[in-house]
Structure 1
Amino acid sequence: MGTSTTGRRSAARERLLETARQVFYARGINGISVDEVIASADVSRATFYRHFPGKDDLVRAYLQEEDRSIRERVDGAAKAAANPSEVLHLLVLGLDEQICGAGFRGCPFINAAAEYPDPAHPVREVVAEHRTWFINAVTELVTAIGHPNPERAARAVVMLRDGAMVGGYLDDPKATGDSLAHAVDAVTRNPS
């Protein structure tokens, strides 16, 4: 992903992605111009366009990096845990830490979807790919836990996560995290 045509990592592309991650998350995607990203990343306009044909391509790459990072954290939790219940517990703890963290502004995927209302837009395709993966990952965990209706329980867990991402930004983050843990426990332990 972060390689040039010669196969070496491009420092300029990495700076563009890191700058995009910071400013898009803090200020919104549509509120940031390409010129602001270029200036903040300290690259030339030609360098930007060598790596990204347009702003939407940068937005897609930013979200793909967020997706990659989340997948790595989920994989890390799976490797650190003794069983699927513990993996789910670690995921909830990770969400709690995230929503209580400094500068938290909600889910970058939900935020991007709000700024790109057309479900057929390429940015929304990245959002949809991430959500599909996440729902499937949670479904696998809930199935492994032995829930009698894993698809329904997984969708409830994802909905609770979405609500916690919004609630953590708008309300008391600690109370939101506590509520998320309680609700996920209730959904995954109660088969009704």
Structure 2
Amino acid sequence: MKTKTSNTREKILQTAEQLIYQNGIHATGMDLLVKTSGVARKSIYRHFANKEDVAAAALNERDERWMHWFRTESDKGETPQDRILNMFTVLKSWFESDGFRGCAFINTAGEVGDPDDPVRQIARMHKQKLLDYALEVAGQLNVEHPAVLARQLLILMEGAITTAYVMGDASAADNARDVVKLLLEQVSS
């Protein structure tokens, strides 16, 4: 059973994540968080030292949820090749969803200049998890350099995400998927 404290913390994090994804970190002030969440400022400060702590915690939550979703959906393929291609099918479904605003981690990392800032560290960790997953699946193929393939997959995923958001073109996932098919043919021959 969840306590009132954990429910309040979840409400703060859910609201912060939505606001940050929609508006960015700098445009998401404590006043907006209080107004939107309905949680008193004093309660927010009971859970978090400052806005940066709220943002970092919200991004960590998003990372866990997004990676779980992405892996679960991508893993529905029967073979490693299917799972790799599914990554781009899954991305396209995300691109076509209501409220798609690109990658929260790319967006927020772009707002922060300091590479040691917690937000940048979380973005780096998220991208590392995505690379690790690509490597896990690429490692199931009989290829000479699965790490090279995994890095290529990451670049194609990131390019598709950015193109879909900036250009408003969900077919970026299809274009990336077509390139992946060529890569898979090349590494399999």
* TM-score (norm: length of structure 2): 0.90
3-state SS, counterpart of residue 118 of structure 1: coil
1:26 aligns to 2:12 (yes or no) = no
- Looking at structure 2, the residues matched to 95 and 79 of structure 1 have their Cα atoms a distance apart, in angstroms, of 13
Q: Structure 2 regions of 5+ residues with no counterpart?
A: none
CA change 1:31–1:96 in 2 (3 A) is same
Paired-residue identity, %: 28
| 1:59 is aligned to 2:58 | no
- 1:78/1:84 contact within 8 Å kept: no
The alignment partner of 1:179 has SS state of helix
Q: What corresponds to 2:177 in structure 1? A: 181
Q: Secondary structure at the match of 1:19?
A: helix
Question: Which residues in structure 2 correspond to 1:1-192 (within 5 Å)?
Answer: 10-77=6-73, 80-191=76-187
CA contact (8 A) 1:116 1:124 kept: yes
Q: How many residues align?
A: 187
CA distance, structure 2, for counterparts of residue 189 and residue 171 of structure 1: 29
Aligned-partner Cα distance in 2 for 1:73–1:32: 26
Distance, in Å, in 1 between the alignment partners of 2:118 and 2:95 is 27
Distance 1:9 1:76 in 2: 30
Q: TM-score, normalised by structure 1?
A: 0.88
Shift of 1:187: 2.3
Contact persistence 1:100–1:168 (CA under 8 A): no
Q: Verify the 8 A CA contact 2:12 2:33 in the aligned structure 1.
A: yes
Structure 2 CA distance for aligned equivalents of residues 25 and 67 of structure 1: 12
Structure 1 residues 54 and 129, CA gap change in structure 2 (3 angstroms): same
Conservation of the 8 A alpha-carbon contact between 1:160 and 1:180: yes
> Is contact 2:73–2:90 with CA below 8 Å preserved after alignment?
no
Q: CA deviation at 1:154?
A: 1.0
- Alpha-carbon distance between aligned partners in 2 of 1:187 and 1:112, rounded to the nearest angstrom: 31
Residue type of the alignment partner of 1:175: S
After superposition, the Cα gap between the structure-2 partners of 1:78 and 1:106, relative to the gap in structure 1 and judged at 3 Å, is closer
- In structure 1, the gaps of 5 or more residues are none
